[in-house]
Structure 1
Amino acid sequence: MNLPQIFVEQMKEILGPELPEYLESYEKPKFTGLRVNTSKISVEEFERISPFKTLRRVPWTPNGYYYTEEDAPTKHPYYYAGLYYIQEPSAMTPASVLPVEPGERVLDLCAAPGGKATELGAKLRHEGLLVANDASASRTKALLKNLEVFGLPNILVTSEMGDKLDRYFHEYFDKILIDAPCSGEGMFRKQAHMIPAWERQGPEVFSKMQREILDQAANLLKPGGTMLYSTCTFSKLENEGSMDYFLSNHPEFHLLDIPQSEGFAPGQPELVDSTFPLEKCVRLFPHKIDGEGHFLALLQKDGERTPNALESAGKPSKLPQELTDFLKDVSMPVDTTRIQIKDTKVFLMPEGLSGCKGLRFLRSGLYMGELLKKRFEPSQAFAMVLKKEEYASVIDLPATDERIIRYLKGETIEIEDGESTKDAGWQLVCVDGYPLGWGKLIRGTLRNKYFSGWRMNA
C-alpha cells in the first residue's frame, strides 16, 4: 500500500523501532468479527447453537468473536433475529470497557451506525435509558434499525449537537461514550480509500471537532459519572493531544485505568509533552493485535453520583380496546402508564422519560404498533423485544427449514397442523426460539408481516 510519506514519518515518531513491523501488517489478512447480543442470548448458548465453523474469541471483549468469510454470518437467520452484530474486532473495545450497569442513564454521543450503542443497550438489560445520538440525521436511520433489531426498548434516538442536548440533559448521564469523528488512520489497513480523505482533511481539522465534543460532553455527565473517549486513529493530536487539552480545561476529571489485554499499548504523554498520566490510555496497533487501530481513554468526573430519580409515569389512561385485546396475549411486563399514543401510533416510553419536545429525534421508546380501523397492528420492533415465551401464539421453525428464508424474503408460507400454538390470528415467528417478526395465520397460510424494509435480498 502506498502510504503518504508524512503519515509514515508521524508513525515513526509514535512507534520508533516498531515501525517496520507496523508497515508489514499491511500485508497481513484483515480480521472480521461479530459481537453476541447478550440481552437475547448468553455467550454459552450462542456457542452451543452457532453454525459457524471458524469462530474464535476476541481476547479483549467477552462476547466478541472472529469469523472468516466462509461463515457468511450476515446471511444466516440468526443475524435477522438480532443475536449478534458484525463489528471490526478493535472497534468492540470502547463499549466493552465502559462499565455500564442496568438502570443507568447512558449516552452514546456519536452513535451511528450503532455498533457501540447496541452493546451499551444490551448491557442495560432493558432498564434505564440509552440515548443514542448522532449529529447526522441521515445516519440515524441505520442507527435506529440496528437498535430495534437488537430488541432494545428503552431508547431515545436523537440528532443534535451536544450544546442542544445540554439544555435537556445537563449533568444527567451516568455513563457517556464518545467514539469521536476522526481522521481514520487506524482504518487505512482495512479501508485504503480513506487515505485521500486524510490528505484533504487531516488531524488538525478533526482535533478541533473532538475538543468541542468533549467540552459539551463534560456538561452532560453527572458528578461521579464515567466517560469513554475513543478514536480509530493514531494521531497524537487527536488522541493524547485531545486528552491533554480536555484535562487541562476540566480539572474536575481524572483518568481511570483500563483493564489490560495482550497487545494493548499505553498512551504516550511524551508525544505532546503532557504532565497528565496519559499512559493510562490505551493504544491498539494492527501489528500487536488481530485488529485495526484504536485509542481509548476512560475518565471519571469528580463528585458523588446521585441515584436516578424516576419521573412519575402518571395515572393509567384508558387504552383503546383493540390494544388492550392484543396485550392480553403478551406476558412481557408492560407498564401501561408509560404508553403514549401519537395520532395512530403507540409507543412505550422508557422509565424517566415522559417526552422530548423541542429535541430533534427519530424515536422515543419502543414503537409498539399502529391502531388501524378497529384493529392493532404490532410493529417489527415490538416482535424483536419479545421473548418466545412472552407471546401466546408462536410459530417456531429451525434455521434449517427453508420456510425461514422465504419468510425473511417476505413470502407467504404454509404452516402444518401442530406448528402453531393457535390455529389462527397473529403469530410471533421465531427461528430456533428467537423472534424474527409477525405473521397472520389464516387456514394454514401465514400472511407475511415481516417489515418490508428489513427483508432479505433474493
Structure 2
Amino acid sequence: MELPKEYLVRMQELLGEEYPEYLDSFSKARVTALRTNTRKISPEELKARMPFLEESVPWAPEGFYFSGGKTKDSAQVTPAKHPYYFAGLYYLQEASAMSPGAMLPVEPGDRVLDLCGAPGGKATHLGARLAGTGVLFANDISASRAQAMVKNLELFGIENSYVTAETPEKLAQSFPSYFDKILVDAPCSGEGMFRRESAMVKDWVQKGPSYYQPVQREILTSAVSMLRPGGMLLYSTCTFSREEDEDNVAWLLRTFPELTVLPLPGNRGFSEGFLPGTGRIWPQRARGEGHFLALLQKEGGGNRGKAVEETQDWTGKQRSGRTFAEAAPDFAPLFGSAWQDKPVSEEKDSLYLLPEGAQKRAGIRYLRTGLFLGSRKNGRFTPSPALALALQKEDFSNRVDFSGSDGRVIRYLKGETVACEGVPSSGEDGWTLVLVDGFPLGWAKRSKDTLKNKYHPGWRWQ
C-alpha cells in the first residue's frame, strides 16, 4: 500500500522511535472479531456454542477475536453465514470499534444518544447494555445509512429505540439537556483504518484532518447542548490526527468550561493519549486498528432518565392507550399475559411498542419509533420480523425449534417452504415462531408438518 508522503511525515513526528513498528503493522494479518449480543446470550455461552472463538477483546469483554474454525460437529464456520448471526446473537465488528460502546458508562434506565450511528454497530452495543430499560436514540444524518441501523437494531432485538435521520443541529433544537449519555463517534479522516480499508487513503488525500476538524466541532457543539447536567459524553474517532483528537478535546474544555475529562474506566489495553485522561489504540501495540477516545462529563446534577421539561408530544395521526390484546385481538392471545397487556401506539395500520417515558418530537425525521410490532390489513394482524427477534422462546405459544445443524434452517433462511416433521414444537397450526437452538429467527405459517415461509425477504440468506 502506498501511503501519502505528508501522512508518513506526520506519523513519524507523532510516533518518534516507534514509527518503524507502526509501518511494520501493515504487513501483519488483519484481525477479525465479533461482539456478543448480551441482550440474548452471555459471552460465555456464545463461546461454548462457537468454540472457534479465541480470547476476549481487552476493552470489550463481550467481544471475541476469531480466525475461522470449526463447530463441535466439525462443520467449517463462516460467522456471517451462521444461523446464530441471523438470530442476532452477535455483531461482526472490528475490535477497536467496540471500544466506544464499551467505554461509555451506560446504566439501566439511561437516555442514550448515538449521534453519528450508522451502520449501527455501536448503537446495538449501547442498546444491549441498556438491557431493555431507558431509551436509545440512534441517529445518522443520512437516511439511507440510518436504514442500516433499523435492520441491525431489529436483528439485535432492541425494542426500546428510536432511529432518526437528522442533522445534529436540528436534534439539538428538540432535545435540549435531554440525554444522560451521548456517543459521538465522529466522521474523521480515517487514518486508523488505512491498514484495513485502503480506500480511506484516497479520501485522506482529498480531504484530510483540516476538512474534518470543523465538522467535528459543529457536531460536538450540538452534542454538548443535548447533554443534561451531570451527563457524560464519549468522543471517539478512528484517526491518529491530533487535530481531530486531543486538539478537539482541548477545544471543548476551553469552549465549554462546564466539561471535564474523566479517566477511561479500568486498564483495558489502551495507551495514554497526548492529553491526560484520553486513550488511544495503536495497531502496533494492540490487536485492533487505530482509535481515539475521550470521556467527558458536564458539571451539575440533573434528573437522570427524565426530561427537564416535556413541552412537545406525539405528532401526526397516531393513537395510543390501547393494549396489544385490544389492538390485535386475533394475534395477541398467542402471547403470555405480560405481552398482551403492553400498551401500544398506532400509526395508520401499524402498531408500535414505545420506550417508556420517551416522546416523539415534532419536526424530526423518524425511521423507526420503538419496536414495530406489525400491521393490520382487512382486520387481520401480520407480525413484523422485528417482533420475532425481540421475543424469548417462551413468549409465544406456537413455535418450532430447529437444531443449528439441521439443514432445514438454511432453507428457511433462504425463504423456502420447509417441513418440520420430527422437530420439537408446541402449539397449533397458524402463525408460528421459528427458532434455532432456542433463539427466534422469524415467522412461518404452519399447516400440520409444513411451514409456509414468512421470513423477511430483505434479510434472506444470499
Structure-1-length-normalised TM-score: 0.94
Q: Look up the match of 2:281.
A: 284
Relative to structure 1, the CA distance from residue 257 to residue 151 in structure 2 (aligned partners, 3 Å threshold; closer, same or farther) is same
Q: For 1:198 and 1:20, locate their aligned partners in 2 and report how far apart those are by CA, in whole Å.
A: 21
Decide which of 357, 361, 365 is 1:360's aligned counterpart: 365
Determine if contact 2:52/2:68 at 8 Å carries over to the other structure.
no
Q: For 2:58 and 2:458, locate their aligned partners in 1 and report how far apart those are by CA, in whole Å.
A: 35
Q: For 1:172 and 1:340, locate their aligned partners in 2 and report how far apart those are by CA, in whole Å.
A: 23
Q: For 1:299 and 1:18, locate their aligned partners in 2 and report how far apart those are by CA, in whole Å.
A: 29
Q: Look up the match of 2:55.
A: 56
Q: For 1:153 and 1:164, locate their aligned partners in 2 and report how far apart those are by CA, in whole Å.
A: 24
Offset at 1:56? 2.3
Does 1:411 pair with 2:410?
A: no
Which has the higher mean CA deviation after the structures are superposed, 225-234 or 314-323? 314-323
Letter in 2 for 1:304: G
Letter in 2 for 1:185: E
Structure 1, unaligned stretches of length 5 or more? 269-277
Offset at 1:113? 0.3
Q: Secondary structure at the match of 2:276?
A: helix
Decide which of 212, 216, 219 is 1:210's aligned counterpart: 216
Q: For 1:161 and 1:173, locate their aligned partners in 2 and report how far apart those are by CA, in whole Å.
A: 16
What are the Cα deviations for residues 153-202 of structure 1, in whole angstroms up to 9, with x where unaligned? 11110011122112221100000000000000000011112111100100
Q: Look up the match of 1:8.
A: 8
Q: Secondary structure at the match of 1:21?
A: helix
Decide which of 225, 231, 242 is 1:236's aligned counterpart: 242
Q: For 2:265 and 2:423, locate their aligned partners in 1 and report how far apart those are by CA, in whole Å.
A: 51
Q: For 2:54 and 2:459, locate their aligned partners in 1 and report how far apart those are by CA, in whole Å.
A: 26
Determine if contact 1:315/1:337 at 8 Å carries over to the other structure.
no
Identical amino acids, percent of aligned pairs: 48
Relative to structure 1, the CA distance from residue 171 to residue 442 in structure 2 (aligned partners, 3 Å threshold; closer, same or farther) is same
Q: Look up the match of 2:171.
A: 165
Offset at 1:69? 4.2
Does 1:91 pair with 2:88?
A: no
Q: Secondary structure at the match of 1:143?
A: helix
Relative to structure 1, the CA distance from residue 375 to residue 156 in structure 2 (aligned partners, 3 Å threshold; closer, same or farther) is same
Does 1:248 pair with 2:254?
A: yes
Q: Secondary structure at the match of 1:404?
A: helix
State the aligned residue count.
447
Matches within 5 A, 1:50-449: 50=50, 52-70=51-69, 71-261=77-267, 263-268=269-274, 278-309=275-306, 316-317=321-322, 323-331=328-336, 333-334=338-339, 338-416=343-421, 419-449=424-454
Offset at 1:431? 0.3
Q: For 2:320 and 2:211, locate their aligned partners in 1 and report how far apart those are by CA, in whole Å.
A: 51
Determine if contact 1:347/1:365 at 8 Å carries over to the other structure.
yes
Which has the higher mean CA deviation after the structures are superposed, 422-431 or 148-157? 422-431
Q: For 2:374 and 2:129, locate their aligned partners in 1 and report how far apart those are by CA, in whole Å.
A: 25
Q: For 1:383 and 1:61, locate their aligned partners in 2 and report how far apart those are by CA, in whole Å.
A: 28
Letter in 2 for 1:31: V
Structure-2-length-normalised TM-score: 0.93
Offset at 1:425? 1.0
Which has the higher mean CA deviation after the structures are superposed, 53-62 or 97-106? 53-62
Q: For 2:340 and 2:250, locate their aligned partners in 1 and report how far apart those are by CA, in whole Å.
A: 46
Which has the higher mean CA deviation after the structures are superposed, 146-155 or 369-378? 369-378
What are the Cα deviations for residues 354-405 of structure 1, in whole angstroms up to 9, with x where unaligned? 4333111100011000102121110000000000011111100110000100
Q: Look up the match of 2:42.
A: 42
Q: For 1:25 and 1:8, locate their aligned partners in 2 and report how far apart those are by CA, in whole Å.
A: 14
Determine if contact 2:321/2:345 at 8 Å carries over to the other structure.
no
CA-based RMSD: 1.9
Offset at 1:321? 5.7
Q: Secondary structure at the match of 1:205?
A: helix
What are the Cα deviations for residues 116-172 of structure 1, in whole angstroms up to 9, with x where unaligned? 000000011111110000011110111110000000011110011122112221100
Offset at 1:228? 0.3
What are the Cα deviations for residues 48-85 of structure 1, in whole angstroms up to 9, with x where unaligned? 212x4252211111111011145410100000000000
Relative to structure 1, the CA distance from residue 26 to residue 439 in structure 2 (aligned partners, 3 Å threshold; closer, same or farther) is same
Determine if contact 2:139/2:165 at 8 Å carries over to the other structure.
yes
What are the Cα deviations for residues 280-314 of structure 1, in whole angstroms up to 9, with x where unaligned? 10011100001100000000000013133488999
Q: Secondary structure at the match of 2:60?
A: coil
Q: Secondary structure at the match of 2:426?
A: coil
Q: For 1:7 and 1:316, locate their aligned partners in 2 and report how far apart those are by CA, in whole Å.
A: 58
Q: For 1:292 and 1:390, locate their aligned partners in 2 and report how far apart those are by CA, in whole Å.
A: 41
Q: Look up the match of 1:271.
A: none
Q: For 2:217 and 2:393, locate their aligned partners in 1 and report how far apart those are by CA, in whole Å.
A: 46
Structure 2, unaligned stretches of length 5 or more? 70-76
Q: For 2:329 and 2:372, locate their aligned partners in 1 and report how far apart those are by CA, in whole Å.
A: 16
What stretches of structure 1 move > 2 A for 4+ residues in a row? 259-263, 307-322, 331-338, 353-357, 417-420
Q: For 2:437 and 2:457, locate their aligned partners in 1 and report how far apart those are by CA, in whole Å.
A: 22
Q: Secondary structure at the match of 1:325?
A: coil
Determine if contact 1:224/1:301 at 8 Å carries over to the other structure.
yes
